[in-house]
């Protein structure tokens, strides 16, 4: 039986950029994930993805930090609990970028005798910190909302609060577009989760607007009511994030990925039987192991060609693959 770990493959970026107004602006500003294709081989491709992840995290951190500072300044004057809820959550989002940043930096390190698979799993550990921060934000927001339900207060400087809500929406949506796009491009579930979290934050920022109108209409109780809505929405985000990170930590993959892998392997005429196909994510790298039985008519000299063709077919179907191990046995 033969087995080979295949690392140095040709891996092309299959992503195509559209012509939306956001993409044109992003390309002009050279934001991560926007620009010309990067046709990088094997290990260089993994390095590029990791550096792209670091660059994206830095820009997301900067955007959320600016958004949070602006909103916090306006909260200081207005005293809106709905705005406080949004500001605290944006601050939590900014902190989420730190463990992600550390994880991508760790992923640069080469494998060691103790960590023989490398340090890519640190990205999934960072995802746990993201889940914890989201859950903390939900609890804090709900606590503040209940306090304001008991003792509702009018919102001061309503016009500034509206401006803060719009700032929160724009800042979070920019981060969401950036992180979801790059997360999908490099296969980072932690980054995608954080991006989706930012997108919902942007929408919940707009929930502050009814609270302001309620205060103007002398119905201040609308402020904590909408804070409750925000907190409840974040609880559901937390649930989805827990499920996503559970899948990663338990080496679960989308069944459709296995179907595509099996289809790619069967496409070679020499393959008689697929004994098994196993896949798992290590950070944003997808690993595959398979054992197949080939037609005995293929001589040993042809086995390498069989394996190379299978690798090419797999990479075409699953562009996030960085490690392929195929064991081949002849059929007797």
Q: Shortest CA distance to 283 belongs to which of 135, 173, 122, 151?
A: 122
Which pLDDT score, from 0 to 100, does residue 37 have?
40
pLDDT digits (tens, 9 = 90+) for 173-207: 999 999 999 988 888 888 888 888 788 778 777 77
In percent, the amount of the chain with pLDDT more than 90 equals: 9
Which pLDDT score, from 0 to 100, does residue 40 have?
36
Which pLDDT score, from 0 to 100, does residue 9 have?
42
- Asked whether the CA dihedral 137, 284, 199, 249 is positive or negative, the reply is negative
Q: How many CA atoms lie within 13 A of 170 on its CB side?
A: 11
Which pLDDT score, from 0 to 100, does residue 131 have?
84
In whole angstroms, give the CA distance from residue 74 to residue 83.
9
Which pLDDT score, from 0 to 100, does residue 301 have?
59
Which pLDDT score, from 0 to 100, does residue 81 have?
65
Average pLDDT over residues 221-244: 83
SS (H, E, C) 102-161: HHHHHCCCCCCCCCCCCCCCHHHHHHHHHHHHHHHHHHHHHHHHHHHHHCCCCCCCHHHH
Give, in words, the CATH class of 38-249: mainly alpha
- The pLDDT-based confidence of 259 (bands split at 50, 70, 90) is very high
Residue 245 contacts residue 256 (beta carbons within 8 Å)? no
Whose tokens are 């559209």? That residue is 18
Per-domain residue ranges for the chain? 38-249, 255-330
Whose tokens are 């296995």? That residue is 258
- The pLDDT-based confidence of 12 (bands split at 50, 70, 90) is very low
Average pLDDT, the chain: 78
Q: What 3-state DSSP class applies to 320? A: coil
Which pLDDT score, from 0 to 100, does residue 202 have?
80
State the distance between the two ends of the chain, measured CA to CA, in whole angstroms: 13
Indicate if the pLDDT at residue 2 is higher than 50.
Answer: no
The rounded Cα 28 to chain-centroid distance in angstroms is: 24
Which pLDDT score, from 0 to 100, does residue 82 have?
59
Q: What 3-state DSSP class applies to 31? A: coil
| pTM, two decimal places | 0.69
Indicate if the pLDDT at residue 53 is higher than 60.
Answer: yes
Beta bridge partners of 111: none
Whose tokens are 């069967």? That residue is 266
Residue 82's alpha-carbon distances to 75, 189, 228, in angstroms, are 9, 29, 9
Q: Would you say the CATH fold of 255-330 matches that of 38-249? A: no
In whole angstroms, give the CA distance from residue 169 to residue 151.
28
Read off φ and ψ for residue 69, nearest 5 degrees. -60, -45
Q: How many CA atoms lie within 13 A of 269 on its CB side?
A: 3
Whose tokens are 């294709």? That residue is 37
Its CATH architecture, for the domain 255-330, is 2-Layer Sandwich (3.30)
């Amino acid at each position: 039986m033969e087995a080979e770990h295949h690392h140095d493959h040709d891996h092309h970026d299959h992503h195509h950029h559209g012509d939306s107004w956001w993409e044109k602006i992003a390309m002009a500003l050279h934001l991560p994930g926007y620009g010309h294709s990067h046709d990088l081989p094997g290990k260089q491709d993994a390095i590029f993805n990791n550096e792209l992840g670091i660059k994206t995290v830095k820009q997301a951190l900067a955007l959320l930090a600016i958004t949070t500072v602006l909103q916090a300044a306006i909260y200081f004057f207005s005293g809106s609990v709905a705005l406080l809820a949004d500001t605290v959550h944006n601050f939590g989002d900014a902190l989420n970028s730190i463990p992600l940043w550390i994880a991508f930096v760790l992923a640069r390190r080469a494998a060691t005798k103790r960590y023989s698979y490398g340090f890519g799993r640190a990205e999934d550990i960072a995802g746990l910190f993201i889940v914890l921060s989201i859950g903390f934000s939900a609890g804090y927001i709900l606590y503040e909302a209940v306090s304001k339900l008991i003792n509702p207060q009018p919102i001061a400087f309503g016009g500034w609060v509206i401006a803060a809500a719009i700032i929160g929406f724009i800042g979070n949506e920019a981060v969401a577009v950036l992180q979801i796009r790059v997360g999908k491009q490099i296969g980072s579930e932690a980054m995608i989760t954080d991006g989706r979290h930012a997108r919902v934050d942007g929408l919940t920022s707009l929930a502050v607007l009814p609270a302001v109108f309620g205060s103007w209409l002398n119905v201040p109780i609308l402020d904590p009511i909408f804070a409750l809505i925000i907190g409840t929405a974040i609880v559901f985000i937390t649930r989805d994030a827990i499920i996503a990170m559970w899948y990663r930590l338990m080496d679960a993959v989308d069944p459709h990925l296995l179907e595509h892998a099996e289809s790619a392997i069967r496409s070679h005429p020499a393959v008689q039987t697929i004994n098994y196909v196993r896949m798992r994510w290590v950070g944003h790298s997808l690993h595959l192991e398979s054992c197949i039985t080939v037609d005995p008519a293929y001589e040993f000299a042809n086995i390498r060609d069989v394996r190379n063709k299978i690798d090419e077919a797999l990479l075409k179907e699953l562009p996030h693959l960085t490690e392929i191990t195929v064991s081949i046995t002849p059929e007797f």
